[in-house]
Structure 1
Amino acid sequence: MQSNTDGDKKRAVEELDFDTRTSKRVAWESWEFTVIGPHQVEVTNASYGFLKDDHTYTVGVENRDGLAVPAECDCPADVHGDRDCKHKVALATVGGPTVLNAAVAVETPTAETSEAPDPVTGADKLRADGGCECDRDDFPCFDCFRAGRRDLPE
């Protein structure tokens, strides 16, 4: 695995072709990243608040001579545009080598495993007790109810 250095970040950014407008948009907007499979990162523009799911795209990551870099995105701007999209630029600059290398390090599922592992988000790891915010309420969240961890109140 590669080191997480500023040099790797700079080299990954240099692999992309983007303009000042895209750079400013990446800096102004809020981003979330989830490794969803081998060489795949889900990039979410969280600036859209409760509509952020409509602004989530999958960015492919490839290993170029030992350097993990964003390769393609399924957003319309990347598919039809002449330059790299803001999702790829955000992954390289905001997510950086840590997220890029994590995507490259995810193992490809084998025939023994029927599906890829569930993505792990930062929020999952922040809860040291493994609990949920709904533990403080009388009413459970949907995930806890669905998993059978909490019942609906009488």
Structure 2
Amino acid sequence: MDQLLPADFEPTSRVLKRAQYEAFAFSVLDGDIRVRNESHENPANHEYRVSVVDGIPATCECPADAAYEGPCKHRVAIAIRSRILELVTKVQVVADGGTTANDRCEPAESDQCDCDKLDDEFPCWNCVRTGRKTLPEK
């Protein structure tokens, strides 16, 4: 597993095993994740939207998530894959108008950023966006 499960996230061992070995495909949808189970003969009939809240897969549209106690295999499949959670969290931050650490231009003490890799006339996008530099008028 990529990461440890949250403390209150207690799947059954059967659900955890299935979340690990079934062939899931993931797509980011407006801050949520579509989980498609490619293990089935007709995967299109086995895809569900999972909502992520504060970095935790909170709800799933699948029947099992509503019918049983504990998280379904789709939520667990996301929870054990930290890169999927990181990606959806970044999408949520951007969709909310925020920024992530990678979006900010915070040059080192030498005051260097991506501008030094560009033509002298054009600053990097982070410097323009943060107001450190402006685009040329030409």
TM-score (norm 1): 0.55
Equivalent residue number for residue 43 of structure 1: 35
Distance 1:16 1:55, change over 3 A: same
Deviation at 1:27, TM superposition (A): 2.6
Q: Deviations over 1:7-48 (max 9, x none)?
A: xx2144x4412111112222331111111112x000111101
Equivalent residue number for residue 53 of structure 1: 44
Which residue identity does 1:59 align to in structure 2?
V
Cα distance in structure 2, aligned partners of 1:60 and 1:26 = 17
Tell me, which stretches of 5 or more residues in structure 2 are unaligned?
98-138
Which residue identity does 2:46 align to in structure 1?
H
Equivalent residue number for residue 65 of structure 2: 78
Aligned partners of 2:9 and 2:71 also within 8 Å: yes
Percent of counterpart pairs with the same letter? Answer: 31
Deviation at 1:100, TM superposition (A): 0.8
Higher RCO (CA 8 Å, separation ≥ 6 residues): 1
User: What is the number of residues matched between the two proteins?
Assistant: 94
Cα distance in structure 1, aligned partners of 2:15 and 2:37 = 13
Aligned partners of 2:5 and 2:79 also within 8 Å: no
Normalized per residue, the structure richer in helix is 1
- Aligned residue for 2:43, secondary structure, equals helix
Cα distance in structure 1, aligned partners of 2:52 and 2:38 = 21
- Aligned residue for 1:78, secondary structure, equals helix
Equivalent residue number for residue 87 of structure 2: 102
CA RMSD of aligned residues (A): 1.8
> Aligned pair 1:10/2:4, yes or no?
yes
Equivalent residue number for residue 34 of structure 1: 27
Equivalent residue number for residue 116 of structure 1: none
Tell me, which stretches of 5 or more residues in structure 1 are unaligned?
1-5, 111-154
> Which one has the largest radius of gyration?
2
